[in-house]
Amino acid sequence: MRDDRINLFATATSTPQHFYYLCRAVSKGTFKLGPVNADAMYNAEYHSYNGAGVVRVR
């Protein structure tokens, strides 16, 4: 874990997998949420980028 990202390593299977993480808000404001990206370690043909958005901390 880092301040601005989480690196997660998993094995690709045909069974759906769900991963969750908790973020800690330390400043009020509106922030851009970058997309989750996934890449296959040994084959660049397999990749995915999805889920960009906005986070509002009040």
Structure confidence at residue 15 (pLDDT):
92
Q: What is the CA radius of gyration of the chain?
A: 14
Domain positions in the chain: 25-58
Structure confidence at residue 2 (pLDDT):
60
Query: For the segment 20-50, what is each residue's pLDDT rounded down to a tens digit?
Result: 888 788 899 999 988 888 899 899 899 999 9
DSSP element (H, E) containing 6: none
Which amino acid makes up residue 42?
Y
The Cα angle at residue 51 between residues 30 and 15, in degrees rounded to 5: 145
Give the span between the Cα atoms of 30 and 10, in whole angstroms. Answer: 31
Report yes or no on whether pTM surpasses 0.85: no
Structure confidence at residue 5 (pLDDT):
79
Structure confidence at residue 3 (pLDDT):
67
